[in-house]
Each structure stands twice: as structure tokens, then as C-alpha cells.
Amino acid sequence: MNLGIVCYPTYGGSGVIATELGQEMARRGHYVHFISCSIPQRLNSFQERVCFHEVEVPTYPLFQYPPYSLALATKIAEVAEYRKLELLHVHYAIPHATSAFLAREIPPPKKFKIITTLHGTDITVVGKNPSYLPVARLSMEQSDGITAVSHYLKETTIEKLGITKDIEVVPNFVDTENFRRKSVPPCPKRAKEKGEKVIIHISNFRPLKRLADVVEVFYLLQKAIPCQLLLVGDGPERAKIEQLCRQKGIISSVHFLGKQNAITQLLNNSDLMLLPSEIESFGLVALEAMACEVPVIATRVGGLPEVVIHGEVGFLCNVGDIQTMYDYSLQLLQNEPLRREMGSKGRKRVLDYFSLKSVVDRYEQYYFCILHKTKEEE
């Protein structure tokens, strides 16, 4: 199969899933063409049957904003024609599905099928905006197949956009050979030397991630037990959160690590993950933590209850419930047998339902199902 994959290359779950999916498909003998504005973060080494095609966006004084969606459509059409694409898998509906639909209409005629995978904010934030909703709906209706990463997201898409096409739920996944409990260099070294507990949070530092809640929970925890906090990622909330840590006098125990590639090392040095998001369509970082046997305390929103089973692999709380998050955190950090038991059950859940092999098997089967659909079936 000649497979095209369109994704955002930046730090985020959709780009990670798209990249690892494409690399696994290449290992299975398919030819994979990544199309994006820059090389995806996890496409960091040469691999047979994998090719990257950069979208170049020309600047022109007439345009206040570079027309990326048009440049992307042109690049998709070019790759489809010269690399004989059979199927194009776009991750994130706006603008990728729109560009894919446009590319297929550019002469000469192209016969590639389009699959759109919905990851979350393309529906919950962007897609339901009145400025984009009609385009988002058209793009998905013109796709040959649609997948969503959670049942929550599928139901939200049907409700908010009125999509009539079938939506297949295919969850996110992790490479359980990479994300696992293993011996790694200590980080932060001081915490390990002193036997302090380490709490971790990973996100893109947007308001929806509620980083202030992470800080408030940690502020209470560090009063009760020796501990340190790792904040991994970057984004618009960083300066405000740094200031909050200074105001609370805990800045010396909080490590702002920025965007990191060595996520497995950080998780293997962590005792607990906090994920107090206002909304999460899936929660890939929770899955990565569970694969490394790190219990997760998260909010009972979106697709998180489909990932984190309350009382089994971690705990779920209401949004903004700092006290309950603190109580559960302290319980786990002071009860090592319970923490280890939940960590072990989290790893087993990932192996049973969210491993790279099993989920990519489902994607591969879905690809062939879409490719073999006849006009009558459509």
C-alpha cells in the first residue's frame, strides 16, 4: 500500500500517534509518505519505506496569514500523483481533511481514499466554532472513513456537527517496548538522593490543562511529605505558572523542563502523574504513564474514564476539586504497596487494550476495509 499521512509536527498527541502509526506501517512493508510543514517530532531517524514531504508556504504581502491549507492541498495533490497514493490518512480535521478533499479535486483525477482521524480539539474547540463548522462537516462527510480516539469524541462529533457517516472508534496507543518500567539515570538527581517523591505533569500548557490546579495540589503535598514536581512541556500558561510557584514559595521544588523527548526517563523517575484537565478527548500522556507503571490522578471528563479506571489504575476527580486530588495523591504516595499495585494494573491495562501492535492491527484492517469499499457500498 502507498499510504500518505498528514499531521501536525508539533508537541502533541495527534502528531505522536500519526508518526508512530506510519513508522509501524512501514515496518509491515507499506510505503509511507508523511506530509507536513516540518518533520514530525518523533520522525527522528532514517527508516526504510518512509519519506517526508515538506509543505512550503509562500509569503506574500497581500496575505495577513500564510495560506497553509492551500499549500498543503497542492502538496498532497503532488505527492498523490507522483507517488501513486492509494490512501491518505489525515490527523485532525481542520484544516487537514479540508485540504485532502480539495487535493482530490485538483486535475488530473485522483482516486486515493481519505480517512480522517479526530483527536479532540479539532471537534471540541475548532470544529464547533461557527466560523469553521460548515467546512468541518463537509470535510468529514467527504472522507471515505472517519475514526475517533474515544467513544466520548465520537458521540460529541455526532452531537455537535451532526455527522451522518459511520465513525469507527480506534483508541490511541503506546509502544510498550519503549514505554515500560526500566532502569534509567536519576532525574531530578537531588530528589532521588534524598528519597523524595516525584510528581509529574505533561502537557502543552494551555488553560484547558489547568496547571494552576497541579501547583495547588503540589503546594499541599510538599507540606505533608518531601516531594518535587516535574512540569514537562511549554505553552501560553508557563509564565503565569512560574509566577504562581514563586508566590507560593515552592519554585525551588518545581522543575520547568520544557519540551522533552526523553519522556520514558522522566516517567521512570516519577511516582505519580497529575492530569487535572478541564477536557481531554483521550489523554495520551496518561496512557504513557500507565505503561511505565505510574498511577494517574485525573479528572472525570471526556475520554479519560475510558483510559483511567477509577480505583484500579489511579483515581478520577471532579474538575477543580483540589482537596480530593490532594487526598488521593497523598494516599498513593504514603502507601507504596498500593501505588505499586495500581502501577502494575495500569501496565496490564495498556498491554490488554492500548498496545501499538493491537491498535495498529485495527488501523490496518480499517485501511483495507476502506480501500475495498465499492461505489455501491458507499
Q: Which three cell numbers stand for residue 47?
A: 527508516
**Residues of 64-90 as b/e, b for ≥16 C-beta within 10 angstroms?**
eeeeebebbbbbbbebbbeeebbbbbb
Q: Which three cell numbers stand for residue 191?
A: 530528589
Q: pLDDT by residue (tens digit) across 344-376?
A: 999 999 999 999 999 999 999 999 999 987 544
Helix (H) or strand (E) holding 157: helix 151-161
pLDDT value at position 127? Answer: 52
Residues of the chain with confidence (pLDDT) below 50: 375-376, 378
The C-alpha atoms of residue 350 and residue 189 are separated, in whole angstroms, by: 29
Q: pLDDT by residue (tens digit) across 160-202?
A: 888 888 999 999 999 999 999 988 888 887 777 788 999 999 9
Which regions of the chain does DSSP assign to beta strands (E)? 2-6, 31-36, 50-54, 87-91, 113-118, 145-148, 167-169, 197-202, 227-232, 254-258, 272-275, 296-299, 314-317
Q: Return the SS3 of 199.
A: strand
Q: Transcribe 168-195 into DSSP letters.
A: EE----B-TTTSS------SSHHHHHHT
User: Can you list the domains of the chain with their CATH numbers?
Assistant: 2-172+356-371 (3.40.50.2000), 189-353 (3.40.50.2000)
The C-alpha atoms of residue 134 and residue 127 are separated, in whole angstroms, by: 9
pLDDT value at position 126? Answer: 58
- Do 287 and 264 meet the contact criterion of CB atoms below 8 Å apart? no
pLDDT value at position 118? Answer: 92
pTM: predicted TM-score of the whole model, two decimal places: 0.90
- Radius of gyration, CA atoms only, the chain: 21
Which residue bears the cell 484544516? Answer: 95
